[in-house]
């Protein structure tokens, strides 16, 4: 799906959602200062439940992040509209819908599907449910345990 997304900013948005397991609102609320490249961390502020959390910045889309920031030079928000405003949740969803249509992946895919995929792939790679719970910002473990039903991984 990312390869089929020609717009650099849109590709960076989708890669960030998947690479960090973000909700739409968390992506939209990212400030430039929330990404601490030197420390390899991203701060998620006031997420669901009004909690902050720190995430590890994934190394894989590093070139994409550098290319995006050089091309668009955001001033305040990590992902800004041409007007300088942050992206709305509906705009982020529209970006994904366009990418789904062009790439012909599952037509029922949503932004939250990327978050589920992130968690499922972590689980399949052997990450503990407790660690995934912290990364996703879930208050209770039963919420995270949903991913055990999705995963095809068996120990």
Task: Establish if 29 belongs to a structural domain.
Answer: yes
Task: Establish if 45 belongs to a structural domain.
Answer: yes
Most confident of 64-68, 124-128, 144-148: 64-68
For the residues of 113-143, what is the DSSP string, one character each? HHHHHHHHHHHHTT--HHHHHHHHT-SSHHH
Say yes or no to pLDDT of 145 above 80.
no
Task: Establish if 2 belongs to a structural domain.
Answer: no
Task: Establish if 106 belongs to a structural domain.
Answer: yes
Q: Which CATH number is 61's domain given?
A: 1.10.443.10
| CA 146/CA 117 separation, integer angstroms | 12
Task: Establish if 94 belongs to a structural domain.
Answer: yes
Q: What residues have CB less than 8 Å from 1, skipping those under 6 apart?
A: 14, 99, 100, 103, 105, 109
Task: For residue range 71-124, list pLDDT tens digits in order.
Answer: 999 999 999 999 999 999 999 999 999 999 999 888 888 998 998 888 888 888
pLDDT value at residue 153: 53
What pTM did the predictor assign?
Answer: 0.86
pLDDT bin (cut points 50, 70, 90) of residue 50 is confident
Task: Establish if 108 belongs to a structural domain.
Answer: yes
Range of the structural domain that residue 64 is part of: 8-150
Say yes or no to pLDDT of 9 above 50.
yes
pLDDT value at residue 30: 94
Domain count, the chain: 1
pLDDT value at residue 152: 54
Task: Establish if 1 belongs to a structural domain.
Answer: no
| Mean pLDDT of the region 20-45 | 92
Q: Which of the residues are catalytic?
A: 23, 48, 112, 115, 138, 147
Task: Establish if 155 belongs to a structural domain.
Answer: no
């Amino acid at each position: 799906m990312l390869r089929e997304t020609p717009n650099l900013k849109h590709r960076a948005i989708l890669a960030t959602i998947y690479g960090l397991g973000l909700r739409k609102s968390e992506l939209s609320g990212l400030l430039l200062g929330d990404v601490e490249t030197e420390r390899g961390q991203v701060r998620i502020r006031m997420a669901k439940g009004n909690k902050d959390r720190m995430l590890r910045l994934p190394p894989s889309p590093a070139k994409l992040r550098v290319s995006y920031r050089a091309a668009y030079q955001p001033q305040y928000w990590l992902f800004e509209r041409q007007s300088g405003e942050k992206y709305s949740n509906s705009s982020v969803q529209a970006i994904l819908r366009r990418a789904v249509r062009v790439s012909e992946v599952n037509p029922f895919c949503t932004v939250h599907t990327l978050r589920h995929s992130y968690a499922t792939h972590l689980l399949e790679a052997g990450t503990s449910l407790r660690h995934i719970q912290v990364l996703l910002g879930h208050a209770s473990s039963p919420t995270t345990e949903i991913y055990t039903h999705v995963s095809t991984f068996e120990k």
